[in-house]
Chains A and B, each alone.
Chain A
Amino acid sequence: MVIFDIDYIHGDSLVVNHQNSIDVAKISYPLSALRQQYPDAKHIAVENFIDQVVYRFTAFDKKYLVDAFNGEQLSPLNAKDAKRAAKYYYSGTGEIVEIELISENPPFELSPRTLPAWRINFDDFGSPSLYVSAQTGKLVGKRHEFWRTFDLMFSLHVMDYEDEDPSNQLLFWFAIFALLAAIFGAVLSYLVIFKSNKADVAKQSIGGGFNVAD
């Protein structure tokens, strides 16, 4: 686990972090119009979505994506837009092999908070998957086989095969026994390496003998 760079494991190299700045000219649908359309909008943001400038906001625990040019509601994202977004975020060259909308029971590699989301699988090294939120069009997950293997190994590491919680009884008892074994091993190493070496030297220099005790 320590050999693989954790940033690589997190899939940071799978995606491009686009830095396109917002083109003000693309905003012709003002906030005032948005307010009338969505009076309960909260946490409003103005951001880019691929080549469009968009409003992102929350209303009644639902997230929205609205084109800032004409006020068109883009959310929930259709498969075509999701594919476009995924290709835009993806740094690799592989083709999309599978796309699937996940609305409930997310796989363990996707946080339930991000639902509903599109899962887009690429045909590439490490079978990467990108998750794009169907509500915001944002990238909400990036996973490849290395992450999945790492995750499995972490389960093994903390001996919790359900929720990767290191505070479990199984780990406790194994840690106790392992610690005891290691301490006994340390004592044994000390005796074998340090004590017996001396005995060896003594034996060699004098050439044999036995002990006559009290």
Chain B
Amino acid sequence: MLLNKVSGADLMLLIKKLHKWLSLLVGIQLLLWLGTGLFFNLMDHQKASGNQYRQKTVPVHVDMARLIEPQLVLSKSKPVVSLKQISLLAQPYYLLTHQNTLYRHLKNNYSLVHAYSGEPTVINDVMAGKLAQSSYKGQGVIKNIIKLSPPYDDIPREKNDVWQINYNDEVNTSVYVDVGSGRIIKHSNDDKRFADIFFMLHFMDYGSEGSFNNVQIIVFAIFTLFFSFTGFIWAIELGLNGQYKLSFTRKKRKLALFDKDNQAIGSFEVTTNSNLLDGLAAHDIALSSTCGGVGTCGQCKVQLNHNTKITSADHSHFNDEQLKQGFRLACQHNVSEVGQLTLLDVTQAKKHLLELTHSEFISPFIKELRFKVVGDYRLRFRAGAHMRFFIPAARGVSIPQRLPEELKPHWHHIEHLEYQHNACSRSYSLANGDGQSADGAEELVFTIKIQNAANNSVLPGVGSSYLCNLAQGQTIEAVGPFEDFYAKSNSNKTMVLIGAGSGIAPLKSILEEQLLNTDKDPLAKRSIYFFYGARAEQDLLYCHEFFQLSKQYPQFKYFPVLSQPSGDWTGARGYTQELLNSHLEAINQLNRLEFYLCGPAKMMTDTMKLLQEKHVDASNIAFDQFTQ
């Protein structure tokens, strides 16, 4: 039974994968089928028939007495399968069929004889033109008359020679007359040709065979059938998992969150008709997920009540023991199924109320904010940790309030803008390194860059603006600390800190922590190299402090680098990664180094590339990615 279940889960995973890749394969054709199908549903069939200017030819009176005996005609002719008396241009003719196929559009062999005189007649251009004109009621004039042999774009199924009579009317009518019998085969015009394009796309008839029995459509039809089938099974599975429940009243319910040490983090209000992954994301608790919540990547692992039902996706990502313990994928379970949830990648994170004690510009666009925890306790954290701030809905401004006079020139080019923003949450790294001291950190330090809008159509950074405009004494809620980036303990390797811009915060924190450790235990001395990039002198954060520290602690070396320095800068020029590259070999053997990275995306990717080229082991690289 259990075995069956597991293989069922594997099958479900296979079905989902199949569906994903089939969507890529048949997606565009499926859209074409639906789009052209909708066109056929809506199109004017009269217009699309090409018969806008077609009229019936008037029947003529045939004087039977003047008809010559068919016997006479037949005896003079080559073998005939059928003799029919027809009328062309108000004259009676005998149409002799010498070779007959099942359909008129297939290859037939005819000849014509005048039914009164017995004179053989061939449809020439003049006669073809007159025949066409007799079937035409428009105002156009014949442009030209051309004799053609198959194949034809307008009448792809026709296999006989035809006269094409073209009119100069507004829809470019063409009339097709059968060369052998004088029959009007078809009227075509631009409206019909337009509709024909849709038929070609719908039938995938790119060889213009006038049929839908081609190889490409058969292949696509089979793939699409599989695509529908896998989708259907998937939909049933979603239905069984309760993911199609409609709830028109978006009820809210409280969800109690626990960290992986089973410490309560707090309770969050989530809407019942979302899955846990989305519900947590609404509070910016972004569990890792690359599949978009369909249960294939298996990254959004959480722990729920062990009674929670097990979906096929849960089966394929957890073993029986884990399932018994309540491990599940957050995307596979609805908020309404659970009352509490344990996060697996966060430790000791709790909600705290923080009060701003100090706020100061340390560069034209970066502020240092200091908070203390409201309540009778202090936070303990490993250097490099971050906190997630809950930014309330508020009015924001694009230019900071209380901007010091000397910084105003830097903000001249920013347009003044007031805006309303929704509540959201944002994460910022702690910049102080005393989080592991006995009583916890006295205060929480952050360096926050005020993100300006890239253009007028987007809002400036909502979180950074709000925080930097907080006045002393104001409070804000934050959850944390989250420790994902920290110095490796029990290591004596040389630390290489690489950072730029406001990415300095976690690096400064780690540096301070290491130097504090040295104070306590001189044997714990590790060499630390700090490469820090900025644009110009005024952007070089804590420059003075770092130089001071490098004098005080000989094991610490500080390498600032500027990309656009003023004239009197005597230090390194360029980018952090370039400076690192030139010093890397000299620091120590590569396998004796540990790298800690935090900075803008470009610096991160370039540095990662550099380290990969140098074959630095991934286990010796830690990074703290921030997005702008």
Contacts and interface: CB of A to CB of B under 8 A. Distances in A.
Contacts of A211: 286, 427, 625-627
Interface stretch (A39-47, A79-87, A100-108, A110-118): A39-47
B618 A19 contact: no
Interface string A1-21: 111111000001001010111
A182 B31 contact: yes
Nearest to B426: A213
A214 interface: yes
B622 to A, nearest CB: 9
A207 B38 CA distance: 48
Q: Name A's interface SS.
A: mixed
Interface residues of B, number: 77
Contacts of B30: 182
A31 B69 contact: yes
B38 A189 contact: no
Interface in B599-628: 608, 612, 618-619, 621, 623-628
Given A22-B81, A175-B38, A199-B290, A212 B626 contact: yes
B627 A213 contact: yes
Q: Please report whether the interface of chain B is mostly helix, strand, loop or mixed according to DSSP.
A: mixed
Interface stretch (B94-102, B237-245, B350-358, B392-400): B94-102
Contact of B40 (A5, A45, A166, A188): A166
Interface stretch (A70-78, A122-130, A190-198): A190-198
B304 to A, nearest CB: 22
Contacts of A93: none
Contacts of A172: 38, 41-42
Contacts of A45: 82-85
B292 A6 contact: no
Interface in B447-487: 449, 451, 461-464, 482, 484-485
B24 interface: yes
A178 to B, nearest CB: 5
A189 B23 contact: yes
Interface stretch (B71-79, B261-269, B548-556): B71-79
Interface residues of A, number: 60
Contacts of B292: 188, 191-192, 196
Interface string B13-57: 000000011011001001100110110111101000000000000
B334 interface: no
Given A192-B294, A214-B451, A46 B426 contact: no
A66 B29 CA distance: 55
B74 A17 contact: no
B462 to A, nearest CB: 8
A43 B31 contact: no
B536 interface: no
A169 to B, nearest CB: 9
Given A22-B74, A172-B42, A179-B34, A214 B463 contact: yes
Contacts of A35: 64-65
Nearest to A5: B213
A167 B294 contact: no
B70 A212 contact: no
Contacts of A39: 64
A95 interface: no
A91 to B, nearest CB: 12
Contact of A2 (B98, B218, B619): B218
B484 A210 contact: yes
Interface in A152-198: 166-168, 171-172, 175-176, 178-179, 182-183, 185-186, 188-189, 191-193, 196
B81 A48 contact: yes
B291 A196 contact: yes
A6 B20 contact: no
A11 to B, nearest CB: 10
A188 B24 CA distance: 10
A129 B102 CA distance: 17
Contacts of B286: 210-211
A176 B39 CA distance: 11
B273 to A, nearest CB: 18
B113 interface: no
Contacts of B294: 192
A121 B391 CA distance: 80
29 contacts: A2-B213, A17-B102, A19-B99, A21-B81, A22-B79, A22-B81, A24-B74, A24-B75, A27-B70, A27-B71, A42-B62, A46-B70, A48-B81, A166-B41, A167-B41, A175-B37, A175-B38, A185-B23, A189-B23, A192-B294, A199-B290, A210-B482, A210-B624, A211-B626, A212-B427, A212-B429, A212-B626, A214-B464, A214-B627
Interface of B: 20-21, 23-24, 27, 30-31, 34-35, 37-38, 40-43, 45, 62, 64-65, 67, 69-71, 74-75, 79-86, 98-102, 211-214, 217-218, 221, 286, 288, 290-292, 294, 297, 386, 426-429, 449, 451, 461-464, 482, 484-485, 608, 612, 618-619, 621, 623-628
Closest 9 CB pairs of A and B: A214-B461, A21-B79, A212-B626, A214-B451, A196-B290, A45-B84, A175-B38, A46-B83, A189-B23
Given A22-B79, A193-B20, 7 more contacts: A2-B213, A48-B81, A176-B38, A182-B31, A185-B27, A186-B31, A196-B290
